[in-house]
Amino acid sequence: MSSKNHINKIPRRGLIAGAAALPIASSCGFLGTSSNLDQRALAVREQVFQKYPSAAQASQQASATLLFPEIVKAGFAVGGSHGDGVMYVNNEIVARYNLTAASFGIQAGIESFSMMTLLMTPLSVQRFQQTLGFDVGADVEYALPREGVNYGTTANSIIHDVYVLIFNQAGLMVGATVQGAKYTQI
């Protein structure tokens, strides 16, 4: 291969990587403010409580609720996801977080979804804070333009009275993965 051909391929790869990163960058908070995040979280929270009344009841019983109105995930064998969210305690926003995750496995596609994590006990909130926001898990999922299913578990949900609801899935994604996530307070 000549060096001329090699140089011509680099910009195309960069263009493809940049195009794939754009949806993720748009959900990273670079294009929004905390008040915008708060408004989106409130709208999604009201939507999920109307659609799933049991989620509203569980949220009232939870010591804290993490709500990510939009997480974008993309992958092909190796994947990544990112989104910004808020933590509610007694129906008040007490903190904002960003979630970044990496996954590995059989996966292909891009999707967006909302996620609500219910920390049911004061101990589960304390452990979430003590783990420095790290979590590991595994899941099997698919998402189509009008529906999606995600079955999975994480270390926190098994051990610490933590329940995770995935909803509003959109995009094209199929996969069976192992993943690690990092929650960072913003």
Spell out the domain ranges in the chain: 3-185
The confidence score (pLDDT) of residue 15 equals 35
Cα gap 177→101, rounded to integer Å: 12
The confidence score (pLDDT) of residue 157 equals 45
Name every residue whose Cβ is closer than 8 Å to that of residue 29 and which is 6 or more positions away in sequence: 37, 84, 98, 186
Strands (E), 23-161: 64-89, 92-119, 134-144, 147-154
The confidence score (pLDDT) of residue 146 equals 53
Token pair recorded at residue 172: 């094209």
Which stretches of the chain drop beneath a pLDDT of 70? Answer: 1-32, 138-160
The confidence score (pLDDT) of residue 34 equals 80
Name every residue whose Cβ is closer than 8 Å to that of residue 141 and which is 6 or more positions away in sequence: 148, 149, 150, 151, 152, 173, 174, 175, 176
Cα gap 11→3, rounded to integer Å: 14
pTM equals 0.75
